[in-house]
Structure 1
């Protein structure tokens, strides 16, 4: 019988002795200070690795390497050559995917089956970026200038990109930041989250194995101060950030000093609306996993579940039953559906909200407790939790919890629920469940969010834009706008007479 209580038999060979350096200018280097930090398994509490702690001097070194590469050999790569590199990278990532997925599971605790389930999306994304590399183009434009002039545009890489990614999806996030860099001819300094940086570091190494020149892709591991140094660096042309709103605000403030180009995918408190005529057999499990997937550590989680009153009691009971049937377990166990929260810090945050729910009058239907039995005492498991009769102004309904907590609220009319759905300061995503196509299309038009799913929840594809309204950020990842964010537009005029 396989023992999933220790990571000892599951460590990829790449981890070696567990000491990992920064990746700067194609070389693995120690931090100038010699400082390191430790990464622990969210599931077992064991030490996974010790990583170099990048300081301001290391960030500066990485940015200089990135600038030199941007202005040097990388600038002479043709679109077809960048495309070929991305296709080789896709092959290398696919060959090593099981180990890359394991790194995410070992660090941040996502169940291994869920980590491995990202293979298809990762491959589609890298191959999408490869296709884009040879399809970037400007336009020939008519003009009304009195002298005969030809006018057209050039699309050029923005330059050095500072990319900062979160811990809840490190491998995929790294690909979604590095992919457009390689497609457009930019260079990048990537800063992963301190709780989960290993898969991003290995992904960057695979970029070099695919033939990406030194300095094009650099990785500086560290904590918040590392990201702050990158955001404020005067020679970074663009910041691409995925993470929390407060951190995003600090990055915008730092970027203002040099007018960096900035794109931000921030948090959410997404509404998921179930009308009385919905197919409940489809809606209930999808709505449940729209909250509980990745232990609720998903920016677009549909945690505000609005249910039309005629089916309200049924949905509450069936969703609670579904939650109770999910298997909570060790991350390495292939049968596990709900893994741990990423850290003690995150557990304390979620536990605070679990206490607030009943205090503010919400009715606890199921869950609400930490799980420590069955060998789960060394991580941070929380039962999938369902609160009913939640008021819109309760904190569990207003604030992003980033844990497996659903707030269910009844509604009586279409206009009412749309107004309540839009009352949040966030606007990342939303869901609509109904058999009435006219009602669905009316809801899609009126919900103020960057993505809306109808009779589904949380589909993503590299060809389709994803991003937020309001406090959920600005800019898009996926679709043509993703690539646009890494390009500048130059207007050109040529006298022809």
Structure 2
């Protein structure tokens, strides 16, 4: 497998099929031009990959946690050594600014591999003295983990699924996003060059490959990141085999600014939170809730900042906001902008699109700020997954919490206030898996990450994630003399033929 082919070449993996129907083209979102052709896996090849992983996991789980940790350290070092190349691949098929790919995605991926390499030494096992018995509880791997990765942060999500699954003793079959598979293919290629044979497999393809993994009887756990609708379909398919799932889904995250907030700090966080990664982020600060006393000032200052965002090719170091990952995603976001206008919201500001003729075919959407937004509008309740931010006014704390909790999602939130008691009170009242107070920094490796409601369930990137990729097994051993229950019949054995 190689991910450095020219657009005329076909990228193949071990599990590529020979069927032209499984072949797909990857486009550069900045220009709309082909960047690679991938020969994907078919259902037959996917089955073979799962079987190979299943066969390999027995030897992998038999290694000590410390030994598995050493392998993960080697993998982390190798990813660091190749980080520039991986980031460039990500920009070429995802479109995001190269600086963001390298400084955020790759650094986070490396940190995740390092974290779980170290956590192997803290594998959550215990021994309990139960009187006449010793109760030994171990964390048992599921066997094969199917990892389905989204297009927005491919190397980060690949690491977030590979590292804990491998740490616990599972083998992994990973499906990259068909829109942006190149960085994942390279990470897997590196992993396969370092880890024992058949511990990690990759099956590129479209949704039917993900569906096959979700329904495979040898898959012991499914880790999925993506849209709620797709996640729901994965859960329904997995239910036929009673396969447990970990779901990291969407977000419609409230960024709450109270009238006593430090606006010089809050505004840069809001802009970064709304437009980082082109808004293609489940953690995007897409709803900015502003108390009435400072609403107009926040709206003015935010609107003045948006046109200064530079939209363009992610390979250009001056770019702030890159293109959408595909033309279909571009069209989806533009449709939401039309919906917002039709529902009565006002476009307060937009950033200009690139004028370079070379980028005329790119999948660009102007970063857009809406004001005059009601809490029940579709742009205020549905995940847009693009560079669109809505400003929503509120009068008091109770209304802020009501609006913030007024969607199906519950992933992250931000609270900006100088009142420490209110910060804690509101944070506790918000329905979210993570709340940032007076910051919106998403570099949270080591902290449990995940949501509730339509944002999914389960927690990633932390010590408790180990429990997501293994199940508790208890073994009870006699400690001294164990009495047989008195109601059991007494048997006297006098001989073989008694």
Bin of the TM-score, shorter chain as denominator length: over 0.9
Q: Say which of 12, 20, 34 aligns to 1:21.
A: 12
| Within-5 A mapping of 1:101-180 | 101-118=87-104, 119-143=106-130, 148-180=132-164
Helix, strand or coil: the match of 1:106? helix
Task: Report the TM-score, using the length of structure 1 for normalisation.
Answer: 0.93
Gapped regions of structure 1 (runs ≥ 5): 1-11, 23-27
Helix, strand or coil: the match of 1:107? helix
Aligned mates of 1:92, 1:49 — CA distance in 2: 24
Aligned mates of 1:40, 1:127 — CA distance in 2: 32
- Establish whether residue 56 from structure 1 lines up as the match of residue 43 from structure 2: yes
Offset at 1:290?
0.7
Partner of 1:226: 209
Partner of 1:4: none
- Report the aligned-residue RMSD: 1.5
- Establish whether residue 261 from structure 1 lines up as the match of residue 244 from structure 2: yes
- Give the number of aligned pairs: 475
Helix, strand or coil: the match of 1:382? coil
Contact 1:43 1:330 in 2 (8 A): yes
Aligned mates of 2:102, 2:134 — CA distance in 1: 52
Q: Say which of 397, 408, 421 aligns to 2:380.
A: 397
Q: Say which of 370, 373, 388 aligns to 2:355.
A: 373
Gapped regions of structure 2 (runs ≥ 5): 482-498
Contact 2:15 2:202 in 1 (8 A): no
Q: Say which of 190, 195, 199 aligns to 1:216.
A: 199
Partner of 1:200: 184
Offset at 1:120?
2.9
Structure exhibiting the larger radius of gyration computed from Cα positions: 2
Partner of 1:92: 78
Aligned mates of 2:292, 2:17 — CA distance in 1: 58
Aligned mates of 1:138, 1:172 — CA distance in 2: 28
Partner of 1:191: 175
Helix, strand or coil: the match of 2:230? helix
1:356-380, Cα deviation, whole Å (9 max, x unpaired): 11111111101288x3522331111
Helix, strand or coil: the match of 2:341? helix
Partner of 1:7: none
Task: Report the TM-score, using the length of structure 2 for normalisation.
Answer: 0.93
Offset at 1:445?
0.5
| Within-5 A mapping of 1:229-378 | 229-367=212-350, 371=353, 373-375=355-357, 376-378=359-361
Aligned mates of 2:46, 2:223 — CA distance in 1: 16
Say which is worse superposed, 42-51 or 103-112, in terms of deviation: 42-51
Offset at 1:54?
1.6
Aligned mates of 2:215, 2:224 — CA distance in 1: 13
Partner of 2:31: 44
Aligned mates of 1:194, 1:458 — CA distance in 2: 29
Contact 2:3 2:186 in 1 (8 A): no
Aligned mates of 1:193, 1:291 — CA distance in 2: 23
Contact 1:32 1:57 in 2 (8 A): no
1:232-275, Cα deviation, whole Å (9 max, x unpaired): 11110000000000100001101111111210000010111000
Helix, strand or coil: the match of 2:297? helix
